Amino acid sequence: MSFEGSCHCGAVQFKVDAPPPTTAISCNCSHCRRRGALLSFFPASQFEVTQGSEALRSYKFNTHKIDHQFCQACGIEAFARGAKPDGSPICAVNLRCVPAIDLDALDVQTYDGAKA
Ligand SMILES: [Zn+2]
């Protein structure tokens, strides 16, 4: 099973080889609170940019451990790349960029990224 998503203008398309999540993380860090993302995390091996990787730009802040990748045309950040504490690469997907997901049906858990 897989699901697909995109930035707003459609230049950047991605696919995740996993069932569409039923839960999401809402983080209150200085970045997430501004963009309002609903996040779900996947091993990088299950994540693929299928179109528009040349349109992606990178934004890093604080410890610079997370590579926030956004579309240069529309500015939407559909995903970010990072690593788990053991070093294995992961992707944080913004479920708001996945049209097939019913956002109101997600079980949203809060993460206190402002204090982490
Ligand atoms: Zn775009």
Inside any domain, residue 116: no
**Cβ(112)–Cβ(28) below 8 Å:** yes
How close is the Cα of 85 to the center of ligand 1, in Å? 31
Residue 115 above 90 pLDDT?
no
pLDDT of residue 64: 86
Inside any domain, residue 87: yes
- CATH number of the domain that 20 lies in? 2.170.150.70
Residues 36-95: tens digit of each pLDDT: 999 999 999 999 999 999 999 999 998 888 999 999 999 999 999 999 999 999 999 999
How close is the Cα of 15 to the center of ligand 1, in Å? 15
pLDDT of residue 63: 86
Please tell me which residue, 113 or 72, carries the higher pLDDT value. 72
Enumerate the H helices of 8-106 as residue ranges: 32-35
How close is the Cα of 54 to the center of ligand 1, in Å? 11
How close is the Cα of 86 to the center of ligand 1, in Å? 32
How close is the Cα of 57 to the center of ligand 1, in Å? 11
Containing structural domain, residue 30: 3-111
2 φ/ψ angles, rounded to the nearest 5 degrees: -150, 170
Helix (H) / strand (E) element for 25: namely strand 23-27
Number of domains in the chain: 1
The answer for 59, left when phi > 0, alpha when psi is -120 to 50, beta otherwise, is beta
Long-range interactions of 59-65: CB distance < 8 A, separation 24+: 61/30, 61/31
Enter the pTM of the model.
Answer: 0.93
